[in-house]
Amino acid sequence: MLKTLFENARSDGGYIGKQNFEDETADGLDISGCDFENVLFRRCKFSRCDFERASFCNTKFDGCDFANCNFENSYWKKTGISDSKGDGGNFSGSRFKECVWKDSSFCYANFSRAVFEGTHVRHCKFREAFLSEVKFRLTLFKETDFYRADFFKTPLKGMDMSDCILDGILVSETFRELRGMKGGIEQALSLAGLLGMEIK
């Protein structure tokens, strides 16, 4: 069903609205440039699919797997992601506005040069993800795992990371990305190694 719908949408302006998809699979589809509005994906699996420049408005991914798919330069507004897997995905240059993500995994994913605005992320994993040159505006991270994530040239000023995992994160030699970031004792201990401190 997904394949047929996507193919028809591409030949008809690329708009897909007011649709519910459950337990669907899609492999190797070119969905680039399509516009999704008021769409629900539940327990759907996407393999090697291309969503480049696609837009998602009032759309929800629940229990889905879109690992290793391409979402480069995509646009997301008021879109929810829960209990889903986006490991290894390419989200570089994308924009996320007023989205809510929870209980999902984006390990090794590429978010370079992305913009997060008014987005809430809770209990997600960004282990070894690329978050370089990202802009965070009014964005909240809670109980999120950034183990060995790359924050090079991403200012964290004003960000509250007090209950997030920051072990081994990558920043510039001057540590300028960390200036003004809010954290707790655990975060300070995690970052002490970056600063050459020895905790006794």
CATH code, 26: 2.160.20.80
Does residue 200 belong to any structural domain of this protein?
Answer: no
Domain count, the chain: 1
How many residues make up the chain in this entry?
Answer: 200
Enumerate long-range contacts of 121-126, CB under 8 Å, 24 or more apart.
none
What pLDDT does 141 receive? Answer: 96
Does residue 76 belong to any structural domain of this protein?
Answer: yes
Spatial separation of the C-alpha atoms in residues 102 and 88, rounded to whole Å: 17
Residue 26 near residue 45, CB atoms below 8 Å:
yes
Does residue 34 belong to any structural domain of this protein?
Answer: yes
What pLDDT does 82 receive? Answer: 98
Does residue 197 belong to any structural domain of this protein?
Answer: no
- Under the banding of pLDDT at 50, 70 and 90, the label for residue 200 is very low
- Under the banding of pLDDT at 50, 70 and 90, the label for residue 199 is very low
Q: Which two tokens stand for residue 145?
A: 């795992």
Residue range 160-175: average pLDDT?
90
Residue range 171-192: average pLDDT?
79
Does residue 199 belong to any structural domain of this protein?
Answer: no
Residue range 173-177: average pLDDT?
88
Q: Which two tokens stand for residue 200?
A: 């006794």
Does residue 58 belong to any structural domain of this protein?
Answer: yes
Domain housing 23: 2-192
Residue 9 near residue 34, CB atoms below 8 Å:
yes
| Mean of per-residue pLDDT scores for the chain | 91
Torsion of CA 17, 104, 172, 161, to 10 degrees: 110
Higher pLDDT, 196 or 114: 114
Does residue 56 belong to any structural domain of this protein?
Answer: yes
- Under the banding of pLDDT at 50, 70 and 90, the label for residue 197 is very low
